[in-house]
Structure 1
Amino acid sequence: MQGVLALKNWIIEHKCQVVACESANNFWYHIYDSLCDHTTVIVGNAHDMKVMNHKKTDKIDSEIIATLALKGMINPSRVVPRHQRDFRNIVRMRHFLVRKRTDLKNRIHNIFDNEMFHLSNVLTDVFGKSGRKIMDGI
């Protein structure tokens, strides 16, 4: 984060009117969030930028992206407001955790079935109060 603050201070000090970056990974979020109130920030699609630039080194990339931005040749990506991005991340994390929980429950069912211990034939909810007590005793 210190690097982003140093970049922000440098851009403000040098009165840069436009800053452009590619939307590679999630690094651009911090740059966009810290600079959008001070200058115009263009976030270009990383795939589109790669098509325009066949050489992939940071120095060459930065020069080409700057040139494209100054010429207005970057098609800006839609940037979702921070509160919406945060909400999306929470929803994605919840979805991931629910899937993980389901995978673990299915794995436990498979272990019991492989050992010929069919709790699901006896209990309606293996992971309910009674089922957990039985599993604790095993």
Structure 2
Amino acid sequence: MKDKVKFVNACPVFLVEDVQRSAGFYVNILGFTYAKHLDKNDKFIAIYRDSIEIILVEKIKGEIESNQSKYGNGYDAYINPDSIEGVDKIYQEYKNKNVKIISEPSITDYGSYEFVIQDIDGRNLGIGLIKDKDKFFEKSNHL
């Protein structure tokens, strides 16, 4: 029997109007680093912070809309820090850099401790961690 392969990360792909402008926001304001691939067919920049990777691809057509504006609900990405205390530290870091804060850190009705920011393209990024595992997983097969 073969060993089961484990997934270690999910990498969202964000379409953007101007890939260099968007990457500049993530690097200069949110503390990411980057790898540029602007000479490729799909003009893109991969951005990294710790184990998080996001791909920014310059769109060719269509409008950029957040899940919230297009569908009325949902974050565009959710990022977990390494600890509950990390939620407050990242919140303070971003607040000090005048990042647009959509909601301050709080415990949700599903048991996560989180806050929401908006990136330069209008996407809502949830940043948080499950605080109350009993509440979060009360109706699941995960425990």
Report the TM-score when normalising by structure 1.
Answer: 0.21
TM-score normalised per structure 2? 0.21
The structure in which a higher percent of residues are strand is 2
Bigger radius of gyration among the two? 1
Q: Which has the higher helix share?
A: 1
